[in-house]
Amino acid sequence: MSKGFFARTASGLALSGALTVAAAGGAIAQSYPEQPIKVIVPFAAGGQGDVMARLVIQRIEEMELLDQPMVVVNVPGGAATIGMRQAKNAKADGYTLLYIHQTMMTAELMGTLDFKYSDMVPVAETNNSCLLTATAEGSGIADAQDWIAQTKAAPNAVKEATLVGSIAHFTTAMFAKAADIQVGYVNAGGGADRIASILGNHTKTAVVVATPVVRNPKLSALVYYGEERHPELPDTPTAKELGYDVVSCLDNIWYAPAGTPADIVDTLAAVFEQATSDPQLIETIEAKGDEVVFSSGADLTARLAAIYEDLAAVSGALR
């Protein structure tokens, strides 16, 4: 699966006021938006997803790309399913969006969400953060090959801190399937809890985002799940370099309820494209540990379908 393309150059769209330009697929609704746009973030305030959503929105406001503000509404609970359901059931008029990554897919596949990710309309991807398998001092694991060898020598005995049903859990399952290994799981919780588990040598490995590994000298990366090596972890091989076709990132997507008019979806996609072409936003988001990307339309729909297919291929073993 591809990661989407980098938004490094200006899109050339003349966006101002009520957005009167034409968009591919139809004319933009010139009166939209006439009221604030609610953005549901199904996590508590202050987390990585919440921070990234607010950074994008802040830059959209600073660039005056919309006549009305976007307002974040944090709806935590139910492993993000409460907020996702609220967004899915909202009126399809362009005034409610959902900002979420693969959690919507994994919740569906684990049976904790009563609708499909494809029941929502993907408007755009603006940023992502690829995952990695980390270990800590004292784990007895030297590198990726050593980890693989240990898991093959003692199936299920090399314990990994995870959050059952999360993208971290699915990532290891995809790698384990590709590498023909059996990893033992300990349901430790969120990213901070997983890191605490490996730092305390309660478990050997954990799937996390790169930032804490880059910043903590007691942590080291074994496998990176991006298409290319992480620039701040140049000695860490990708799964593909090791011979396993596994890519796993937190792809942050802005979704709209099904039935949202296509011209409104196009308007919003154009706004996100303009924002992600902005050097200031790129620098700000990269400083926070994510990567700015832009994808929309058929390309985004196809890529999400490919991601879902990879996740679905291991979901049966995780239930």
Distance CA 7, CA 276 (A): 6
Quick one: how far is CA 297 from the chain centroid?
18
Q: Count the neighbouring beta carbons within 10 Å of the beta carbon of residue 138.
A: 12
Host H or E run for residue 302? helix 297-318
Beta strands, E only, the chain: 22-23, 26-27, 37-41, 70-74, 96-100, 120-136, 159-162, 184-187, 205-209, 219-224, 249-257, 291-295
pLDDT of residue 319: 82
Tens of pLDDT, residue by residue over 237-254, are: 999 999 999 999 999 999
233 belongs to a structural domain:
no
What DSSP designation does 172 have? H
In this structure, the answer to whether residues 186 and 142 fall within a common structural domain is yes
Q: What is the pTM of this model?
A: 0.88
Tens of pLDDT, residue by residue over 209-236, are: 999 999 999 999 999 999 999 999 999 9
In this structure, the answer to whether residues 71 and 40 fall within a common structural domain is yes
- Residue 119: give the domain boundaries: 22-128+251-318
165 belongs to a structural domain:
yes
Distance CA 205, CA 319 (A): 21
In this structure, the answer to whether residues 205 and 154 fall within a common structural domain is yes
- Sequence letter at residue 319: R
Tens of pLDDT, residue by residue over 159-213, are: 999 999 999 999 999 999 999 999 999 999 999 999 999 999 999 999 999 999 9
Domain count, the chain: 2
- Sequence letter at residue 266: D
HSE, side-chain direction, 13 A CA sphere, residue 193:
10
